[in-house]
Amino acid sequence: MRILVSNDDGIFSPGIRVLANAAKEFGDVRVVAPDVEQSAMSHAITIRRPLHYHPVPLDDLEAYRVDGTPADCVALGAYHWDEVDMVLTGINLGLNIGHNIWHSGTVAAAKQAAFLGIPAIAFSAPFSIGPEDYAPLMPYLSQVIRDFLKAPDIKLLNVNFPERPRGITWARQSVRNYEGIVVPDTDPMGREHFWFSERAKGSPEEGTDRWGIENQLVTLTPLTLDLTDRAVLEAAAEKVPHD
C-alpha cells in the first residue's frame, strides 16, 4: 500500500514526522510537504508561477519539499508516485474543528486527494501539544487508520485529537457563528496594521466535533465534497421555479 503524507505546517513540523513514522505500519510511505508553513491557506493552489519538487532529508523517510500550498503538495505527490492508495495529512498543530475546517490547509490537502479519487484522512491536535505529548495519541491514530481501511465508503475523514484521549467518537461538524477578533497595532515605523483572529461563540452541541474534544474524545468526521444545501435547494426550487 502506497501512503502519501502531507501537512500545512511545513515539512519540518514535528507532527508530520510522527504521522509518517506511524504510517509505516500500513505500507510504503512518502512525504511531500510545503517547504514553509502554509497554515490557514485552505484549498489555495499556485497557478501564476511554477512549482519545485526537491528531495529533503527527514529521518529515514523518503521526503520531498514543495514551494507551494498543501493542495499543491498532494497534487505533485500523486503526480510523482503512481497509484497512491491513501493520503494522510497532519498532524496539524491546532485543532481543525467547526469553522476551522473551512480555513484549514491540513484538511484541504486531504480534500485534494479526495478530488483525485484517493481516500484521505486529515489529523489535527491542540496547538499546545509538545513533542513528548504525541505518545498517548499513537494507539488512537493506528486505530483510526485501521477503522478507515475497513470503511471504504468514507472518502475523506477529518480527525481531531484531544490532549489526553479517553476514547473515540463519530462527530458532526460544529457549525456556529464565531467572533471575529480584529486587533489594531502599529509597527516599529509607526505604520498601522491589524491581527485577525477568531473565537467560537457559546458552548458546543452534543455530538459535534467541538463537544467531543471538550469531552477528551478523538473525533471522526466524514466530510463531503458537495457543498450544496440540498434542503434549501429543494425548497427554493419549489418556491421560485426556474425552467
Give the CA diameter of the chain.
Answer: 61
Among all residues, whose Cβ is closest to Mn ion? 39
- Per the CB < 8 A criterion, the answer to whether 146 and 152 are in contact is no
- Per the CB < 8 A criterion, the answer to whether 22 and 142 are in contact is yes
Shortest distance, position 122 Cβ to Mn ion, whole Å: 11
- Please, which residue, 105 or 165, has the CB nearer to Mn ion? 105
d(CA 76, CA 109): 11
- Angle, in degrees to the nearest 10, between helices 70-80 and 105-115: 40
Shortest distance, position 126 Cβ to Mn ion, whole Å: 12
Shortest distance, position 220 Cβ to Mn ion, whole Å: 20
| Beta pairing, strands 178-186 & 86-93 | unpaired
The amino acid that residue 171 corresponds to is A
Shortest distance, position 192 Cβ to Mn ion, whole Å: 27
- Please, which residue, 39 or 221, has the CB nearer to Mn ion? 39
Shortest distance, position 114 Cβ to Mn ion, whole Å: 19
- Please, which residue, 9 or 72, has the CB nearer to Mn ion? 9
Q: Which residues bind Mn ion (CB under 5 A)?
A: 8-9, 39, 92
- Please, which residue, 39 or 219, has the CB nearer to Mn ion? 39
Shortest distance, position 41 Cβ to Mn ion, whole Å: 9
- Per the CB < 8 A criterion, the answer to whether 205 and 211 are in contact is yes
Contacts of 97 (CB under 8 A, 6+ apart): 124, 160, 173, 174, 208, 209, 210, 213, 219
- Please, which residue, 149 or 200, has the CB nearer to Mn ion? 200
CA 36 to chain centre: 16
- Please, which residue, 8 or 209, has the CB nearer to Mn ion? 8
